[in-house]
Amino acid sequence: MRANSIISDSDITKPEAPALQKAQRKVSDFEKVANSEEYPQFADYLKSRIDYFSQFTPGGTPVQKLTKKERSDAWDSAITIIQEFESLLRTLDSFKKKL
């Protein structure tokens, strides 16, 4: 019993603080792919597709066999595809764990 207290503290149970749980961060699909064992193979594939679209149209026709107008139209499509693949590679690289 505390001095000068009208109630005894021996009967009072002290509340326990709830155990703090670490916030679990959800791993994104990009992070899973970027840190997988297969990522180097996947990145090499994307790079090979970038090289392909640098020389061929999306339909597979060599650029040299096209007229100037056809080449211009095909290049517009190819450059869009190339930019998308490069963007995907940059995104995956940003999710790669730094060692």
Domain membership of residue 19 (yes or no) is no
| Higher pLDDT pick, 60 / 94 | 94
Q: Is 22's pLDDT higher than 80?
A: no
pTM check: above 0.75: no
Q: Which range of residues forms the domain containing residue 89?
A: 29-95
Please answer whether residues 75 and 54 qualify as being in contact, where contact means their C-beta atoms are separated by less than 8 angstroms.
no
Distance of CA 70 to the CA centre of its chain: 35
Q: pLDDT band at residue 1, thresholds of 50, 70 and 90? A: low
Residue range 4-23: average pLDDT? 67
Residue range 26-55: average pLDDT? 91
Domain membership of residue 79 (yes or no) is yes
Indicate the residue type of 84: E
Domain membership of residue 36 (yes or no) is yes
Domain membership of residue 70 (yes or no) is yes
**74-94 pLDDT tens trace:** 888 888 999 999 999 999 999
Q: Provide the number of structural domains found in the chain.
A: 1
Domain membership of residue 75 (yes or no) is yes
Domain membership of residue 83 (yes or no) is yes
Domain membership of residue 14 (yes or no) is no
Domain membership of residue 80 (yes or no) is yes
DSSP characters for 66-79?
Answer: S-HHHHHHHHHHHH
Q: Is 41's pLDDT higher than 70?
A: yes
What value does the mean pLDDT of the chain take? 82
